Structure 1
Amino acid sequence: MKSLSVFMKDLGAVFKNPKMRISMFAILFIPVLYSGLFLKAFWDPYGKMNELPVAVVNQDKGADYEGTKLTAGEDLVTELKKTDGFKWNFVSREQAEAGLADNTYYMAIVVPEDFSAKATTLLDADPQPAKIIYEPNEGYNFLAGQIGGTAVKDIKSKVSAKITEAYTSSVFDKITKIAGGLGEAGDGATKIADGATKLDDGALKLKDNLVVLTEGTGKLLDGVAPLTQGVSDLNNGAAALKTGSSTLAGGLQQLSAAHKQLQDGVTQSAAGSKQLNAGLQKTAAGTASLQAGTQSAVVGTEKLQTGTKAVVDGSAKLAAGLSSSAEGSAKLEAGLTASKDGSAKTAAGAKAVSDGLQALAKSNPQLAASPEVQKLVAASAAVAAGAAQLDQGQQQLLDGAAALNSGQEQLLQGANQLHSGSQQLDAGVGQLHEGAQKLYAGSTQLLDGQNQLAAGAGALENGGVKLAAGMKQFGAKLDEAAAGGVKLADGGKALEAGTTKLLAGAGKLGTGLSSVADGSKKLSDGAGQLKDGLDELKTGSGELASKLGDAASQTKSVNKTDGLVSMFAQPVQIEEVKVNKVPNYGTGFAPYFLSLGLFVGALICTIVIPMRDSEVIGASRFNRFMSRTLTFSMMSVLQALLAVLIVLYGLGLEVQNVPLFYAFSFITSLAFMWMIQAIVTWLDQPGRFVVILILIFQLTTSAGTFPLELIPNWMKIFNPLLPMTYSVKGFKAVISTGDFGSMWADAGTLGAYGVIFLALTFTYFMTRDRGNEAVLKSEQVLTV
């Protein structure tokens, strides 16, 4: 009871001190700040992924595949617009690069222009994989880049499935065509089998007929000799007939040729006189037209002279006006240059005034608080901004004036060239007018001569026509005689050539008949072999027709459906079965941050609350031990209680068992508190440094964030030695897995830590002699 009395007096002294009361109240919320704020910040980051800005650039131009337009890039954009995985920004390549440079976007996803084209090369000899360019802005936020990498892999999987569906659909279409082709091939093979049967029958008949042919060729060979002698006599008579008919035909042809030359001369003369008469009449008509045209040309050239003079005068005035305009634009450019220099100085001066007023206001707080000075600073800033905009506008005007002056100088050069050309055109038009006048006079004289010549040509035409008619009648009779002589000669030649060939053919006939006799025998032997081969063809073609029919039936059984195409595109799907499901990041990190918050809260308590002394003068060692232990234990329980209330009801943490969650939190908090109390009680200020070192090792080895297997091997040694290892495991069991056996084992380990260090604290109080009350009082560390 006395120990409890000492504790109550020490507690009352704490509450009487306002500073101590505020400090202890603040300490109670240290675990809440760690566990509550950290868990709130990371509670469910994936639930707000739709607020993470990501640039999407679609440069894909599409491609044709098997007669279908493949637009994989547009399909990807459409799919992304349906999802809310990120805050998608569909921009151009330039906008994406600018956004990454100024940290507007955390990452960029670029679909190249050949994305669809490369996707169609799967069946090519050198297929090219389609690529999606992923550009994370890791310098801005590394974790965002890692999250985006996972999302891009999911996007890749979906796009690959879409492309594979297109390939699969095409393949099944081809299988359908193959099925039809196999059916047709089966029908054709059936026809082949039928034909082979007929061929087999024909081969048998061929063999029989070739035996008859062999016998007939022997008899024909015996009758060829008398035929050969008769053909020889006929050939000699045909040679004599050929010589006589050739001589007669030659004479008639010479006479016909001479008459044709005479007739052609007469005909040409008559035709020439006719053409001469027609040409002279056309020439007279053309000369009359020429006379009328030259008269019109004289009038037109006079008008053209008047127009060219006006062009010369106008081009001169245009050149003079453009010269004046060019001088004016040059002066305008010079004036704007001077104005630009003035506006630049004005902008610089206005900025200097604004910067000076702002510096003056910062250096004198009272002056800065004056409303008039604030208005003056704002006005000077506005003037500086306006002067800068004026300077930019002057620069734009100066650039425009320079461009205007350059353009007008080019126009002036063109106007001078136009004036020079119009002068040359005026001189040429004058020469054209003089030539037109001379042409009109000559055409008049030409028309008179043409009329006289046309009258003589008409008389010449009439005489030539009569002479040509007589020559034509004589030539016709002579041609008939010559034609008959030629035919006679040709007939003699043909007869002589025919008998020669007939004689040669008779010889060849004898030789050929001998060859036919030998060949017919060989054919008879080959026909037997053909019969055997056709028997095999008949058997094989029947089997081929049967197999092709079976293949066509099996191929037709493959029916293309959307489900089958999807199965080929994605034959494997992942069915996720979560063991001990954790709904969000906050739940997963709760064991780590609760342990961290309770440990840090216990450490902060040792800074505010006295570790060894009591407000009760003369209190025994045991009473002081009990008072300090009860104080720290009370603070520990209150810290744990506040942390549990915040995470359960403030953040909505779901646990497997609420009472066990309370109990394990109290055990963990007391174990941490008694451990830290012992270390700081024994070592004082260096003890707090030791506790911080222990905290650092626990943060890296407790497996609260990354798995234990991922840390360096030398750090793994500390994992089973430190208490936060067991607090993290126990919290995981009571929050997520429901393995309460493991939780009680971890609670026992933490309890052992707490009891051992509490015994060390007890040892310190019972073995150290604090001296008299004066010394005791002087060592109290709780002051103002």
Structure 2
Amino acid sequence: MVRQEWKKLLHNKILLVVILAVIAIPSIYTTLFLGSMWDPYGNTDKLPVAVVNEDQPVEYQGAALDIGGELVKKLKEEKSLDFHFVGKKEGEQGLKDGTYYMMIRIPEDFSAKAGTLTGEKPEKMELFYETNPGTNYIASKMSETAMKEMESAVCQEVTRTYIQAVMDKVLQAKEGMEQAGQGAGELEEGTVQAAEGNKIITENLRILADSTLTFRNGTQNFSEGLGRYIQGVDTLGSGTEELDQGAAALTKGMEQVKEKMPELSDGADELADGAWALGEGIREAAKGSQDLQEGAVRMDDSMTELNQGLLALGEAAASLPEAARELEEGAGTLAENAAALHSGLETLCQGTAQWKEGAESLDSGLQNIIGENGSQSEALSQGAAGLSQSLETLYNNLPSYINVFSGEEGFTFSSGIQSTDPSYLYEEIQSAVDNGDMDSLAGAAWAALEAAQTNYQGLQEMEEQISIVQEAGADYSGAEELNGQISMLKDQAAFLAQSTAAYTEGVNEAARGSRELVSGLPGITDGISQAAAGSGELAAGAGTLLQGISGLSQKAPALVQGIQEAVQGGRLLQTQGTSVLKKGAESLASGTVVLSQGSTRLEEGTKRLKEQMPVLFNGGDQLSQGITALKEGTESLKEGAAELEKNSPSLLEGASRLSQGGEQISQGAGKLHEGSMELGDGLKSLEKGAGTLKDALEEGGSSAGNSVLSEEGMDMFAAPAVTKETQITEVENNGHAMAPYMMSVGLWVGCIAFSLMYPLTEYSGKLKSGGAWWRSKASVLYLVALLQAAVMTGALWIFDGFRPVQPGKTLLTACLASLAFMSIMYFFTNLLGKAGSFLMLVFMVVQLAGSVGTYPLELSGPFVPYLHDWVPFTYTVTAFRSTISGGGSIGKCLLFLGVLFLVFSLMTILEFQIRAGKIKRGKRTWVTWLKAHGLE
């Protein structure tokens, strides 16, 4: 089929031209598109930009400052953009009509604001620029980038101007520092002389301060002592009066104490007894608290088990409503069935009378068959035996009759004698006897009698014919047939004799069974009547049960709710009841231990109190005597204190005046001495500071002279840092950067075009198999895939100057990508026809969004990360970038493309196998339906 496919292709000139055009599609797509944007950043000097300079020069630090003019001069020297220096109106008009992509305007106060740096309110310089993104967005962005570079250049220029002004001020400061250093040296000499004179003054003032200090301290001590004396006198006067009053109160109180001493003794005894009783009670309480603690623990454990049981009960009760509903349904069914059973038993009870009549009729019929004392059965058996013997005799004599009349003619035996073979009844009679089936046995018996009657009639006819033969001397014709019939009748008669015996036995058994049935029917009737009555009670009970279960079903939710509330109550009781009781019991037990210890100490204390009571009584008597003596002494002391208090004001006033004078003299002398010492310290600091100032001014002047920057230094200060870029990979221009993206798109479009133009679902020659069919098409389409990849890479190399770092790997990636894309197209076009090609076109748009061929993944839309790892373009773009710029390994990307190629090729082969099998079997295929609807 491969040969037939190529033969058909080579003879179709139009299709060859189409394939050549398809091979060229990726080349046209990438070469033209990339050629239009190959190196835009390398041609920015052709981007027209208008510059409008409105700046007015100003004077700054005695020099002219023209920042706008300097900027224009610098822009004319540079070629970063195509600058056009125009007026404001021309620039605005050119920006609107697209002549210029940006307009830069230098305002009239640009230089004036530059000179405000050293002023009180410095203002920033403003450089205005306008763009028109609607004309070309990319050009506007490129202009903005250039504007930022221009802004940096302006800042450098202004900074250099400021530095120049600062350097001029530094030189002036150097000269001022040198003059100030000389003055600081003269100041240092004068300070040394003043310090010497201050030393003499300070020494004399120290002597004066020491003398006045001694005087001040003496007067101060005298005044303080006198004050304390007067205060003591006042205190003594008031204290003696209070002491007298207290002594009287103490005497009175002591008398009351003596009166209460017996009661105190009795109370101490009672306290001792109560302490002992309290100790006993506490010890009993300790034992009870221990029991309480143990009981609380057991109660809490029991409450835990109760809560667990309630929880299990709640879980089981959750299914109670459903079980009650099922039980209610079953009870309803039971009630219905019980009613039906009762009705059936009543009907059965009514039928038992008919059974009894039938059984009695059966017994009577069997008795008639048997006869009195079995006479009829015996006669039937004897008749059957006689019939058999007669037939045996006839059969034995028949040859002699035939020989006697064999010479005569004109008579023929009649062949119309009827006979019946009863042998088939034997098994039926035997089965009925074994099973006790009276109905079957009776039927078989009557059938046997009918057969015997028929055979008996046949014998009579035969005897008549024999008589006719004997009388007329008939011909022998038919004798053979007569012989056969007689032989058959003989056998049947023998069988009839046997069957009659079995019949007789069966009828006897049936008679006995019928008698037993008649005798047992009353018991059966009574049982059925009792069952009917019981079924009525059962029906009534089922109704009652149904009512009870209905009530249970209605009450089940309330029961479940009650159980749930019990569970919650149990938990609450344990958490707020038994647990708290348990902790309280523990606290009570520990508290009773402490209380018991305290009661023990209380008992000991009351014993000691009782023992010391006699000592307290003796001490009370002695205290009473001492209080009496104290009261007498306080009266004398009160009189002396009053006399002292009368003369103390005069003494106090004189001492106060003396103390104030000494204080003033001491303070004045001290301040003079301190001021002299501070003056000396200040002169020393001034001397030291003057020397330091002199050295610092001399050093500052020298440093200021060394800090003046050169022209190169000012340039560095204006632009102190430069950026230095290191690229780990190399991308020559925008064309090389966009090539991975557009090469992937070009190959995909070429594969779509081939799948639309080439008849992939038709076969040439005889259809051998699905695999041969696939190979015939694959030999063409995969060759086209390789050619379009090679031609595209070569066209980019020749026409656009495409120079990847790794050309061989670039070509390998293009070929493998083209094969993978073509295998995908091959599968979907064969599966869905034109609809498959349309889906692949839509999928290309999805890949354009998800492969991040233009902007980084982090800058793309929020949905892009979800697509990125699942589209083939992601791996082709990554592989092309690595080979074009000399980046990392492309192994994973090539592996992914290889897997795509193999998977879709195998799926296509399977598709062809299924389709070929249907075609060979003459069945319709999916392609037939697509053709019928114009999709193929």
Return the letter of the residue paired with 2:849: T
Match of 1:696 in 2: 845
Cα distance change on mapping 1:104 and 1:530 into 2, 3 Å: closer
1:603-655 CA distance string (max 9 Å, x none): 10001111121232435322210011121101100100101111223322222
- For residues 554 and 609 of structure 1, the distance between their equivalents in structure 2, rounded to whole angstroms, comes to 88
Alignment-mate amino acid for residue 568 of structure 1? F
1:70 to 65, 73, 79: 65
Residue 150 of structure 1 and its aligned partner are, at CA, apart by 0.7
The whole-number CA distance in structure 2 between the counterparts of 1:536 and 1:659 is: 86
- 1:92 to partner: Cα distance: 0.1
For 1:197-346, list aligned pairs within 5 A. Answer: 197=192
User: Quick check: 1:28–1:601 contact (8 Å CA) kept in 2?
Assistant: yes
Kindly state the Cα deviation for residue 699 of structure 1 after the two structures are TM-superposed: 0.3
List aligned pairs for 1:485-634, cutoff 5 A.
537-634=686-783
| Separation in structure 1 between the aligned mates of residue 686 and residue 188 of structure 2, nearest angstrom | 8
- Counterpart CA distance in 2 for 1:586 and 1:206 is 96
What is the Cα deviation at residue 190 of structure 1?
0.8
Q: Distance in 1 between matches of 2:874 and 2:198?
A: 98
Separation of aligned partners in 1, 2:31 and 2:145: 29
| Deviation readout 1:733-769 (Å, 9 max, x if unpaired) | 1111332x2x121001011011111111111100113
Counterpart of 2:775, as a letter, is M
Distance 1:529 1:764 in 2: 113
* Residues 528, 569 of structure 1: alpha-carbon distance in 2 compared, 3 angstrom cutoff: closer
Aligned equivalent of 2:79: 84
Match of 1:192 in 2: 187
Q: Deviations over 1:707-756 (max 9, x none)?
A: 112222323211111111100000111111332x2x12100101101111
Q: Is the 8 A contact 1:612 1:625 kept in 2?
A: no
Moved more, 679-688 or 196-205: 196-205
- Contact 1:613 1:776 (8 Å CA) reproduced: no
In the other structure, the counterpart of 1:762 is: 909
Matched, 1:170 2:165: yes
Per-residue Cα deviation, 1:215-256 (whole angstroms, up to 9, x for no partner)? xxxxxxxxxxxxxxxxxxxxxxxxxxxxxxxxxxxxxxxxxx
Measure, in 1, the Cα distance between the counterparts of 2:147 and 2:697.
48
How many residue pairs were aligned?
Answer: 462
Match of 2:819 in 1: 670
Q: Judging changes above 3 Å, is the alpha-carbon distance between structure 1 residues 83 and 202 closer, same or farther for their aligned structure 2 residues?
A: same
Letter in 1 for 2:80: G
- Seen in structure 2, the aligned counterparts of structure 1 residues 204 and 726 have a Cα distance that, compared at 3 Å, is closer
TM-score (norm 1): 0.55
Answer yes or no: is 1:140 the counterpart of 2:289.
no
SS in 2 for 1:768: helix
2:913 partner amino acid? M
Change (3 A) 1:771 1:70: same
The answer to whether residue 264 in structure 2 is matched with residue 115 in structure 1 is: no
CA distance in 1, matches of 2:758, 2:728: 45
Alignment partner, residue 28 of structure 2: 33
- Would the aligned equivalents of 2:767 and 2:773 in 1 still touch at CA under 8 Å? no
Write the deviation string for residues 180-209 of structure 1: whole angstroms up to 9, x where unpaired: 2222211111122234446667999999xx
Match of 1:224 in 2: none
**SS state at 1:629 partner:** helix
Change (3 A) 1:161 1:535: closer
Q: Give, in whole Å, the separation in 2 of the partners of 1:529 and 1:144.
A: 78
Identity %: 31
Q: In structure 1, what residue type is equivalent to 2:779?
A: L
1:98–1:194 CA distance, 2 compared to 1 (3 A): same
Distance 2:775 2:684 in 1: 117
- The 8 Å contact of residues 756 and 834 in structure 2, kept in 1 or not, is answered as no
Deviation track 1:48-72 (CA, whole Å, cap 9, x = no partner) reads 2222211111111122221221211
State the AA in 2 paired with 1:756. V
Match of 2:39 in 1: 44
Question: d(CA) in 2 for partners of 1:665 and 1:206?
Answer: 106
Aligned-partner Cα distance in 1 for 2:845–2:684:
95
CA contact (8 A) 1:618 1:773 kept: no
Tell whether the 8 Å contact from 1:80 to 1:88 is kept in structure 2 after alignment. yes
Q: Structure 2 vs 1, CA of residues 529 and 700 (structure 1 numbering), >3 Å: closer, same or farther?
A: closer
Report the Cα offset of residue 597 of structure 1: 0.4
Q: Is the 8 A contact 2:170 2:708 kept in 1?
A: no
Asked if the contact 1:698–1:722 (Cα under 8 Å) also holds between the matched residues in 2, the reply is: yes
The letter of the residue matching 1:683 is: L
Aligned to 2:174: 179
Instruction: Give the alignment partner of residue 874 of structure 2, picking from 718, 725, 746.
Output: 725
Contact 1:54 1:89 in 2 (8 A): yes
Q: Give the TM-score normalised by structure 2.
A: 0.47
Instruction: Work out which of the residue numbers 733, 736, 760 in structure 1 matches 2:885.
Output: 736
Distance 1:626 1:606, change over 3 A: same
Q: Is the 8 A contact 1:636 1:670 kept in 2?
A: yes
Q: Name the structure 1 match of 2:898.
A: 751
Structure 1: 5+ residue runs without aligned partners?
A: 1-5, 208-522
Is the contact between residue 187 and residue 545 of structure 1 (CA under 8 Å) also seen in structure 2? yes
2:59 & 2:693 partners in 1: Cα distance?
38
Residues 89, 676 of structure 1: alpha-carbon distance in 2 compared, 3 angstrom cutoff: same
Mapped to 2, the partners of 1:203 and 1:772 lie a distance apart of: 135
1:160 aligns to 2:155 (yes or no):
yes
Paired residues of 2:857 and 2:864 also in contact (CA < 8 A): no
Q: Provide the C-alpha distance between the structure 1 equivalents of 2:675 and 2:862, rounded to a whole number of angstroms.
A: 90
Deviation at 1:134, TM superposition (A): 1.2
Q: 1:155 to 1:533 in 2, by over 3 A?
A: closer
Which one of the candidate residues 790, 793, 804 is aligned to 1:641? 790
- Residue 653 of structure 1 pairs with residue 802 of structure 2: yes
Superposition deviation, residue 45 in structure 1:
0.6
Q: CA, structure 1 residues 627+142, in 2 after alignment: closer, same or farther (shift >3 Å)?
A: same
Q: Which runs of 5+ in 2 are unaligned?
A: 203-671
Look up the SS of the partner of 1:705 in the other structure.
coil
* Rg (Cα) greater in structure: 2
Partner residue, 1:380 = none
Call closer, same or farther: CA 1:536–1:700 in 2, change over 3 Å. Answer: closer
Closer/same/farther in 2, CA of residues 669 and 175 from structure 1, 3 Å limit: same
Q: Distance in 1 between matches of 2:691 and 2:13?
A: 112
SS at match of 1:88: strand
For residue 696 of structure 1, report the CA deviation from its aligned partner. Answer: 0.5
Q: CA deviation at 1:683?
A: 0.9
Show the counterpart of 2:146: 151
Matched with 2:343 is none
1:505-560 Cα deviation digits (max 9, x unpaired)? xxxxxxxxxxxxxxxxxx9x999998886565444322321232233333332131
